[in-house]
Amino acid sequence: MEHYTMNLTLKVWKQKNAKERGRFETYQVKNVSSEMSFLEMFDVLNEQLIAEGKEPIAFDHDCREGICGMCSMYINGRAHGPWHHTTTCQLHMREYKDGDTIVVEPWRASAFPVIKDLVVDRQSFDRIIQAGGYVSVNTGNAVDANALPIEKHMADEAFASAACIGCGACVAACPNASAMLFVSAKVSHLAMLPQGSPERKERVTNMINQMDKEGFGSCTNIGACEAECPKGISLENIARLNREYIGAMFDGGSQNAK
Amino acid sequence: MSWKNAFNSSVGKKIQMALTGLFLVLFLVVHCYVNAMIFWNDGGEKFTEAAHFMGTNVVIRITEIGLFAFLILHIVQGLKLWAQNRSRRNTRYAVSAGNATSKWYSRSMGILGTLILLFLVLHISAFWAPNRASQTMGNGELDLYTMMKEAFQSLFVVVIYVLGCISLAWHLVHGFYSAFQTLGLTMNKYKSIINMVGVAFSIIIPLIFALMPIAFYLHWIE
């Protein structure tokens, strides 16, 4: 594809902190290369703002390789922009043409309060993981890797679920601001492996309770999360989470989950 | 997990929606089967016989109480979830994804359900309520066939009924699949079967219902 440059109008959400009301600010960005990533375009804009003595726009980013789950922009109504299976850092400016207007908002959910501008607080995800997204392992020598046989297709499916990078696009895209796709990926990935099996009932109970406590909405199977997930986490994970939940619901027994 | 925890969590509430929804789906099949007796075009003989059974059989009458209980639970829980889910995003997006990432009917279950509820209020007060009232007073069952025939001479009533059926159809397109997904039954192997049966059900049942007022209005049946 041929290289070209463009001038863009950006409408970006500016918000001083969690308490103050935010508003849209309009910026002109000149000479943007079609080879740039979306975040590099923001770098150019921020350099420009700093040179003008204005405050740069705060946004989250880390690896810029599409694997860390840190970047989080809601671009023209789409989480991580319009490209399929793509994080914001992997969205490139060749998607846009000269004269385009792009509206950029932070993830919007009560459970993800805005810290500043486009940066949101996603610690609610960490607390859900702390509630059950782990396996308890005794200390001592590492067990031989081949001691536990795992079916190939189960290992593959568990891996596909584990691909979730916890970016929160599912919550941002969901009309109910539900975190079910994230929680289901974490529950699935551990439930499908023998190491995760002993704690499965306690895990699903505690993680769902924490999810509700954090103020996420409930799942109504709309499917916008799956459509926007940069890692292709499928709705089948939510069905599996529901099965896990029903299993824990009817368990008569010994597990003392709250 | 305690029962309290199980029913009060967000997943527990969705399971209640799914189970009551599937019960209502079963009810639709029975209701449709009984009412489709009018298509024999025998002056309502077979229909009245079936309606008499449904109106007097002890088992059916007891199930009817359960039906209303489930219907009310489905409505109350549904509206509560709708309100709750809306409150989970305090600031709305300036630009929304619209139909790019999801289907309009999947996002509109609350509105579609409310339309069906409004229709049900009209429908129940036109047929079920007066019939049961008459039975309770000791005046016996009403002639439902004649009541239908007379009610559906009005174009306005027919339009309301057809709109009710359209709302039901769209509600079912999402609801049928959604119930199975909530119960965790939509594994890859069954997904396409559930989707196909769901769409077929959502078209066939409301279509048969919609044909009833139309058939009376156009005098296909007398």
- B11–A24 C-beta distance less than 8 A: no
CB A219 within 8 A of CB A180: yes
Q: How confident is the model at residue A156 (pLDDT cuts 50, 70, 90)?
A: very high
In a domain, A96, yes or no: yes
In a domain, B97, yes or no: no
Q: How confident is the model at residue A137 (pLDDT cuts 50, 70, 90)?
A: confident
Domain count for chain A: 2
Which residue in chain A has the smallest CA separation from B191?
A236
Which residue in chain B has the smallest CA separation from A76?
B95
Determine the angle formed by the axes of helices B155-182 and A236-249, rounding to 10 degrees.
80
Q: Indicate whether A20 and A65 sit together in one domain.
A: yes
CATH number of the domain that residue B161 is part of: 1.20.1300
Q: Indicate whether A74 and A183 sit together in one domain.
A: no
ipTM of the complex: 0.92
CA distance A30 to chain B (A): 24
In a domain, B94, yes or no: no
Q: What is the pLDDT of residue B1?
A: 84
Q: Indicate whether A135 and A214 sit together in one domain.
A: yes
Q: How confident is the model at residue A253 (pLDDT cuts 50, 70, 90)?
A: low
Task: Report the alpha-carbon angle A219-B3-B107, nearest 5.
Answer: 15
Q: What is the pLDDT of residue B105?
A: 96
Q: Measuring CA to CA, which residue among B108, B2, B134, B113 is closest to residue B55?
A: B134
Q: Indicate whether A14 and A74 sit together in one domain.
A: yes
Q: Which of A44, A79, A105 is the endpoint of a domain?
A: A105
- B88–A108 C-beta distance less than 8 A: no
Helix residue ranges, H only, A139-249 = 152-162, 169-173, 180-191, 200-213, 224-228, 236-249
Which residue in chain A has the smallest CA separation from B86?
A176
In a domain, B96, yes or no: no
Q: Indicate whether A244 and A126 sit together in one domain.
A: yes
CATH number of the domain that residue A31 is part of: 3.10.20.30
- B100–A78 C-beta distance less than 8 A: yes
Which residue in chain A has the smallest CA separation from B180?
A239
Cα A190 from Cα A13, distance rounded (Å): 37
Q: How confident is the model at residue A254 (pLDDT cuts 50, 70, 90)?
A: low
Length of chain A in residues, anyone?
Answer: 258
Q: Indicate whether A66 and A181 sit together in one domain.
A: no
Q: Which helix (H) or strand (E) is A115 found in, with range?
A: strand A114-116
In a domain, A117, yes or no: no
- B109–A220 C-beta distance less than 8 A: yes
Which residue in chain B has the smallest CA separation from A226?
B101
In a domain, A131, yes or no: yes
CATH number of the domain that residue A225 is part of: 1.10.1060.10
CB A117 within 8 A of CB A13: yes
Q: Indicate whether A30 and A140 sit together in one domain.
A: no
Cα B78 from Cα B96, distance rounded (Å): 24
CA distance A241 to chain B (A): 7
- For residue A225, give the amino acid letter: C
DSSP, res A16: S
In a domain, B50, yes or no: yes
Q: Indicate whether A91 and A130 sit together in one domain.
A: no
Domain count for chain B: 1
Provide CB contacts within 8 A for A244, sequence distance 6+. Answer: A187, A191, A200, A201, A203, A204, B184
Q: Is the CB of residue A200 less than 8 Å away from at least one CB of chain B?
A: no
Residues of B with CB under 8 A from a CB of A: 1, 5-6, 9-15, 81, 84-98, 100-103, 106-107, 109, 174, 177-178, 181-188, 191
In a domain, B95, yes or no: no
Q: Measuring CA to CA, which residue among B213, B200, B216, B168 is closest to residue B24?
A: B168
CA distance B200 to chain A (A): 19
Q: Indicate whether A245 and A140 sit together in one domain.
A: yes
In a domain, A254, yes or no: no
In a domain, B93, yes or no: no
Q: Indicate whether A140 and A91 sit together in one domain.
A: no
Q: How many Å from the N-terminal Cα to the C-terminal Cα in chain A?
A: 57
Q: What is the DSSP string of B113-164?
A: HHHHHHHHHHHIIIIIHHHHHHHHTTS----HHHHHHHHTTSHHHHHHHHHH
C-alpha A73, offset from chain centre: 10
Is the model's pLDDT at A257 over the cut of 70?
Answer: no
Measured CA distances, A117 to A13, A125, B12 (Å): 6, 20, 36
Q: Indicate whether A62 and A132 sit together in one domain.
A: no
In a domain, B188, yes or no: yes
Q: How confident is the model at residue A258 (pLDDT cuts 50, 70, 90)?
A: very low
- A218–B85 C-beta distance less than 8 A: yes
- B9–A76 C-beta distance less than 8 A: no
Interface test with B, best of A220, A237, A241, A243 (most B CBs within 10 A): A220
**Domain containing A91: what range?**
5-105
Note the pLDDT tens digit of each residue in A157-212: 999 999 999 999 999 999 999 999 999 999 999 999 999 999 999 999 999 999 99
Burial label for B127, CB within 10 Å (0-12, 13-18, 19+), is middle
Q: Indicate whether A206 and A146 sit together in one domain.
A: yes
Measured CA distances, B59 to A101, A144, B55, B64 (Å): 65, 61, 10, 9
In a domain, A179, yes or no: yes
In a domain, B74, yes or no: yes
Cα A44 from Cα A243, distance rounded (Å): 48
Question: What is the signed CA dihedral for B118, B120, B122, B128, rounded to 10 degrees?
Answer: -160
Mean pLDDT by runs of 10 across the 222 residues of chain B is 90 96 97 96 94 95 96 97 95 92 95 97 96 93 95 97 98 97 91 96 98 96 87
**Domain containing B108: what range?**
3-87+102-217
Q: How confident is the model at residue A144 (pLDDT cuts 50, 70, 90)?
A: confident
